[in-house]
């Protein structure tokens, strides 16, 4: 299965008093990674919300903080969908600095409409399946 990568620069505003990235900012970085994965599949979250009333929510997240990131570091957020379930999609995510893995996460997102879980849209399912099959 193929992964999606985006690069993010760490700015002063991302750090805490110690000079390291504040732990909650890693959640923002990973959210961007998941959003950009959808965008790479020609799926805009705003369009899904507007046209289908569908949003994605994080159902589960497990984090393993391995090493800290610092101001001016260039980080790569790696997002790998693991499987397609009815209404949810487990993913693994990593925050890397070069070849170093700073954070590992296991994330499950769920498709929701009007507060209830719904099946992943067929278009998204096809796009992800094609990406998995091609290794693109």
| Rounded distance between C-alpha atoms, residue 53 and residue 6, angstroms | 27
Q: What is the pLDDT of residues 13-61, one digit of tens each?
A: 999 999 999 999 999 999 999 999 988 887 777 878 888 788 899 999 9
With vertex at residue 86, the alpha carbon angle to CA 82 and CA 83, rounded to the nearest 5 degrees, is 10
Average pLDDT, the chain: 90
For the chain, the domains span 4-134
First-to-last alpha carbon distance for the chain, in angstroms, is: 8
Alpha helices in 11-121 (DSSP H): 23-40, 45-52
With vertex at residue 29, the alpha carbon angle to CA 28 and CA 31, rounded to the nearest 5 degrees, is 65
**pLDDT band at residue 120, thresholds of 50, 70 and 90?**
confident
Query: What is the domain class of 4-134 according to CATH?
Result: alpha beta
Which residues are marked as active site?
A: 16
| Rounded distance between C-alpha atoms, residue 60 and residue 4, angstroms | 20
Residue 136 has a pLDDT of 47
Residue 43 has a pLDDT of 74
Please tell me the pTM assigned to this model.
0.89
Q: How many residues does the chain have?
A: 136
């Amino acid at each position: 299965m193929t992964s999606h990568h985006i690069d993010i620069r760490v700015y002063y505003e991302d750090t805490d008093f110690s000079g390291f990235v504040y732990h909650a900012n890693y959640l923002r970085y990973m959210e961007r990674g998941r959003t950009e994965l959808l965008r790479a599949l020609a799926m805009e979250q705003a369009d899904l919300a507007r046209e289908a009333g569908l949003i994605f929510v994080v159902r589960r997240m497990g984090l393993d903080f391995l090493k800290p990131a610092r101001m001016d570091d260039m980080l790569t957020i790696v997002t790998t969908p693991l499987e397609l379930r009815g209404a949810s999609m487990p993913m693994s995510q990593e925050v890397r600095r070069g070849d170093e893995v700073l954070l590992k996460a296991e994330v499950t997102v769920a498709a929701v409409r009007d507060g209830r879980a719904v099946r992943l849209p067929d278009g998204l399912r096809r796009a992800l399946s094609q990406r998995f099959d091609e290794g693109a």
